[in-house]
Amino acid sequence: MSAHHQSHQRGNPAPKDAKDEQLARFRAAPESDALTTDQGVRVDDTDNALRSGTRGPTLLEDFHNREKITHFDHERIPERVVHARGAGAYGYFEPYESLSEYTCADFLAEAGRRTPVFVRFSTVQGPRGSADTVRDVRGFATKFYTREGNYDLVGNNIPVFFIQDAIKFPDFVHAVKMEPDNEMPTGGTAHDTFWDFASLQPETTHMLMWAMSDRAIPRSFRMMQGFGVHTFRFVTADGRGTFVKFHWKPKLGVHSQVWDEAQITAGRDPDYHRRDLWEAIEAGEYPEWELGVQLVPESDEFSFDFDLLDATKIIPEEQVPVRPIGRLVLDRNPQNFFAETEQVAFHTANVVPGIDFTNDPLLQGRNFSYLDTQLIRLGGPNFSQIPVNRPIADVHHNHRDGFGQQVIHPGTNYFPNSLGGGCPAHAGAGGGAGVFRHYAERVDGQKIRVRSESFQDHYSQAALFWNSMSDWERRHIVEAFRFELGKVGSTEVRERMVGNLANVNGDLAKSVAEGVGLPAPQPVAGVPSATSPALSQENLLGSGIRTRKVAVLAAEGTDAGHVTAVRERLAADGAIVEVLAARGGSVRGADGGSLKVDRALPTMASVLYDAVLVADGKEAVSALAADPAAVRFVEEAYRHGKPLAALGEGTRLLTEAKVPEAVVLGESAPDHGVLTGNGTATADDVADALAAALARHRFPYR
């Protein structure tokens, strides 16, 4: 039985937390019950419509047939206008310490207090059926089911945004989405309208740098950071505010694919990220993130050279350190994608006492948009009653009726009332604990449509990002710009964009211009040279090799002993080793035994693995070297910077795949991540070296 089917039949184990207990009440009866209509009437045949004679017309009176088809006809709802494709999971959050000094939020008040969560990751541009590994921003939305109501932290994996004011969002999204006439491209930004808009709107520049970096092609949802993006506000019980930025940091490190790999993955496994998350959780490898906060006292509001309300800016970590405050663990997959992942509704305005907004104009607009879009997407005003959206806190109000109302509300439906005993009454009589009180910010201004002067510097932080990258990260950024602008038909748009880049860095602009056949733009004087090392992925590797996937290429006559030794060594550190051969089943080992094959080579591809091992065995290696799929597997893995290991004869396959001879024959060259054991090393030595290479993720300097 496949893992997929097992999960369907795993039944309902004891509820894990208050949210799970609530969800359990909504789960349908076991599948073994008899088939019925919507009305509960038992049905004994769902294969043949009621008809007049075995060869006659179908009868309208067949209520089961009509009901079945009608329900099916209405199964689809509108997809999200952005972030349509996603995957979600349940889990919990727990603080390391009390944050009461800064916020009265109950879920942050005590070390170890567990709050159930649901998290949905997503791409932004593509429709529901688009590929996971496109170049795009990733959504990272978390719903905390706190005892004081739902708190949603609706973030992205990039800490800034393309625009500063929400009123530009429809323009931005129209430009980034598929073009209106031909609905292309599906997923990704490499097309004219996006770059037309971007080149005319310089405030996009900082975010463009991130979007053209490897951050936009993550290896896994489990290996990306998350950011609240806006400056929010913590508020204490006595009304004191502190500015706060939220950061999620993955325990497994921040890792990416390379662009060629991401494109191949989109074909080989369009569900790559969704599958990765699902399988890790099914295997008990629960992904984990640390929540960190940057705290800024209200008195420091104007002490930065950018505006805290401007969502195109970060607060460099070197300026305000990120303080770790708790951890998020995802430990349960949903049981029904539609009911849970599709129907979940996040909203930036879902805040709890102790967390409040700032006047960031992007955030202010979001606070309107999410509820509004959900009204149509989820068919009316009662979607907070959908199981995944229900708070675990009690709900009492005078909202009534509407499509899909699930609750029978007895009694009065207005306030104030005496006939209903005055219920529900204003909360807060006993001192106000647990009551939401808006931060009493003083607001005083003219009614004007003007962007603040403090929002006008669009390039300094774009330059900061570029300056902070390692050489290989810069190379990837240049290649990404060349790819994207290379797909743009309009020369004018390309020129304008390259011109903007000169404000970020002269070399960047020149290299991109060269790649798209344009003259280098005029250099711009006075481009800032500051750096923030915290921005480079080189400094975000994390540690360990848990859930990293290693492909072992095998054939008839493979040295099975070697394979077993390497597998045991890597499995001890949590890596997943799979044996691939031309066919499923098993292959004969060199010493006559047999080796189980986990995957048939034609069903897989190198892009689905983090490293490749070629085992010893003269006959086996000859067969592999003669198999174009095996040769391509190695060639591609080398090109994508992945660790390669070959034992004994196995090096011959590396040579066949044109892995440069100097690397194959030289000292086992760790900086290239190609490990040949130099003829004398044991399987254990090679396994150790492979584990170390895997922990470095990739070798981009090949």
State how far the Cα of 634 lies from the Cα of 613, in Å rounded to an integer. Answer: 9
CB-nearer residue toward ligand HDE: 229 or 551: 229
Closer to ligand HDE by CB, 365 or 584: give it. 365
H helix runs in 93-247, sequence order: 169-176, 192-200, 205-211
Please give the full DSSP string across 471-514, using - where no structure is assigned: HHHHHHHHHHHHHHHHT---HHHHHHHHHHHTTT-HHHHHHHHH
Bridge-based pairing state of the strands 288-297 and 241-250 = antiparallel
Query: According to the binding rule CB under 6 A, does residue 191 interact with ligand HDE?
Result: no
Question: Of residues 64, 83, 191, 347, which has the active-site annotation?
Answer: 83
Q: Is 72 annotated as a binding residue?
A: no
| Element housing 431 (H / E) | none
The first and second tokens of residue 317, run together, are 């970590």
What's the closest the beta carbon of residue 397 comes to ligand HDE, in angstroms?
A: 22
Q: How far is the CB of 200 from ligand HDE (least distance, A)?
A: 18
Question: Per CB under 6 A, which region of 153-161, 191-199, 281-289, 494-502 contacts ligand HDE?
Answer: 153-161
**Binding letters toward ligand HDE, positions 299-318, x by CB under 6 A:** ------------x-------
Residues 222-281 that bind ligand HDE (CB under 6 A): 229
Judged by CB under 6 A, which of 98, 369, 405, 417 binds ligand HDE? Answer: 369
Q: Which residues contact 302 (CB under 8 A, 6 or more apart)?
A: none
Per-residue b or e along 475-506, where b marks 16 or more CB atoms closer than 10 Å to that residue's CB: ebbbbbbbbbbebbeeeebbbbbbbbbbbbbb
Which of left, alpha, beta for 671 (phi over 0: left; psi -120 to 50: alpha)?
Answer: alpha
567 annotated among ligand-binding-site residues: no
Residue 503: active-site member: no
Distance (Å, whole) CA 689 – CA 287: 25
Q: How far apart are CA 314 and CA 206, in angstroms?
A: 10
Identify which of residues 232 and 459 has a Cβ nearer to ligand HDE in the complex: 232
User: In the complex with ligand HDE, which residue's Cβ is closer, 154 or 611?
Assistant: 154
Interface of this chain with ligand HDE, residues 53 to 112, rule: CB under 6 A: 80-83, 86
Residue with tokens 């708790």: 326
Q: Which is nearer to ligand HDE, 155 or 316 (CB)?
A: 155
Name the token pair of 323: 């303080």
Q: How far is the CB of 170 from ligand HDE (least distance, A)?
A: 8
Of 259 and 370, the one with the shorter C-beta distance to ligand HDE is 370
**Per-residue interface string for the shown chain with ligand HDE, residues 555-594, x marking contact by CB under 6 A:** ----------------------------------------
Which of 134, 141, 485, 686 is close enough to bind ligand HDE by CB under 6 A?
141
CB 347 within 8 A of CB 154: yes
Among 103, 115, 122, 220, binds ligand HDE (CB under 6 A): 122
Q: Which stretch binds ligand HDE (CB under 6 A): 190-198, 343-351, 482-490, 676-684?
A: 343-351
248 and 287 in contact (C-beta within 8 Å)?
no
Work out which of 248, 346, 466, 638 binds ligand HDE, going by CB under 6 A: 346
**Residue closer to ligand HDE, measured from CB, 134 or 264:** 134
Establish if 349 lies at the interface with ligand HDE (CB under 6 A).
no
For ligand HDE, the closer CB: 164 or 651: 164
80 annotated among ligand-binding-site residues: yes
Q: Tell me if 120 is assigned to a ligand binding site.
A: yes
Where does this chain touch ligand HDE (CB under 6 A) — which range of 193-201, 342-350, 394-402, 501-509? 342-350
Least Å distance between CB 399 and ligand HDE?
Answer: 20
* C-beta separation of 285 from 252 below 8 A: no
β-pair partners for 151: 144
CB of 114 to ligand HDE, least distance (A): 22
Element (H, E) at 437: none
Q: Which of 12, 71, 74, 156 is catalytic?
A: 156
Which of 116, 126, 139, 354 contacts ligand HDE by CB under 6 A? Answer: 139
Distance CA 340, CA 350 (A): 18
How many residues bind ligand HDE, per CB under 6 A? 27
Residue facing ligand HDE at closest CB distance: 139
Q: Among residues 120, 135, 327, 642, which is the contact residue for ligand HDE, using CB under 6 A? A: 120
Count of beta carbons in the 10 Å neighbourhood of residue 372:
10
Active-site annotation holds for 678: no
Q: Count of CB atoms within 10 A of residue 413's CB?
A: 13
At 250 the three-state DSSP class reads strand
Neighbours of 55 (CB within 10 A): 6
Q: Is 147 annotated as a binding residue?
A: no
User: Smallest Cα–Cα separation from 503: which of 200, 205, 158?
Assistant: 205
Q: What is the CA radius of gyration of the chain?
A: 28
Question: DSSP secondary structure string, 31-92?
Answer: TTSPPB-TT--B-S-SSS--BSSTTSPBPTT-HHHHHHHHHHHT---PPPSSS-SEEEEEEE
CB nearer to ligand HDE: pick between 350 and 503 = 350
Cβ-based nearer residue to ligand HDE, 119 or 694: 119
Which of 370, 455, 465, 609 is in the footprint of ligand HDE by CB under 6 A? 370
384 scored as a contact of ligand HDE (CB under 6 A): no
**DSSP tally for the chain: helices H, then strands E:** 20, 18
Q: Select from 155-163, 294-302, 316-324, 692-700 the region that touches ligand HDE (CB under 6 A).
A: 155-163
Q: Answer yes or no: is 135 a known binding residue.
A: no
Q: Which residues does the annotation place in the binding site?
A: 80, 120, 169, 366, 370, 377
Q: Which residues bind to ligand HDE, rule: CB under 6 A?
A: 80-83, 86, 120, 122, 139, 141, 154-156, 161, 166, 169, 229, 311, 344-346, 362, 365-366, 369-370, 373-374
Provide the annotated active-site residues: 83, 156
Q: Which residues does the annotation place in the binding site for heme?
A: 80, 120, 169, 366, 370, 377
